Amino acid sequence: MPSEWETYFLMVGSSAAALIGLLFVVITLAGEATTTALADTKDPTPERGARTFVSPTVFHFTVIVVICAVALIPNFSPHAMAAVAAIAGVIGIVCAAIVLSRLLRGRVNVPHWTDPLYYGVFPMFVYLWIVLSCLFVWSGSETGSYGIAIGTLGLLLLGIRDAWDLATWLAFNRRS
């Protein structure tokens, strides 16, 4: 990436890394939360709910950190950077599709009607955007760099929304 992107990727990557830490703190402190909305409808344990709601949010933040870190490597080839981001994007599309499938098939209780959109549809769109932007970088187009930057920002905003959704749900569903 050109040097003029350094501040942007440093800021976005640092924000994502900090939010990963905060998300872990929130989940740890909210350990007394009820597990009914996070539990599988056929299995009362919260593991599937955690994989559906928590893991994707952490994954979004992790992808941002990886893309931003790779973008900041001195003298790193734009093609190599695009390859790393594209691989992360393809994995993100698959993960978002799995989450969306769980939500739509009723494998977990869906606390709000917007959850399939924010945990499945929108992330798939952003990851697809990143993959397509990587193709532009690979072809030598400068617009690809802007696309990756917009994609990382989109993931950051989705992650913030999903972390807020999770934190507020945990706050309002504590055991008495």
pLDDT in 10s for each residue of the chain, 176 residues: 567 889 999 999 999 999 999 888 877 776 655 444 444 445 444 555 566 778 889 999 999 999 999 999 998 888 999 999 999 999 999 999 998 988 888 766 666 778 889 989 999 999 999 999 999 999 999 899 999 999 999 999 999 998 888 877 777 666 54
DSSP 54-69: HHHHHHHHHHHHHHHH
Q: Quick one: pLDDT at residue 144? A: 92
Burial 151-172 (b: 16+ CB within 10 A, else e): bbebbbebbbebbebbbebbee
d(CA 34, CA 44): 11
> Cβ neighbours of residue 174 under 8 Å, at least 6 residues apart?
30, 32, 33, 34
Extract the tokens encoding 97.
């599709």
Q: Where are the domains of the chain?
A: 3-171
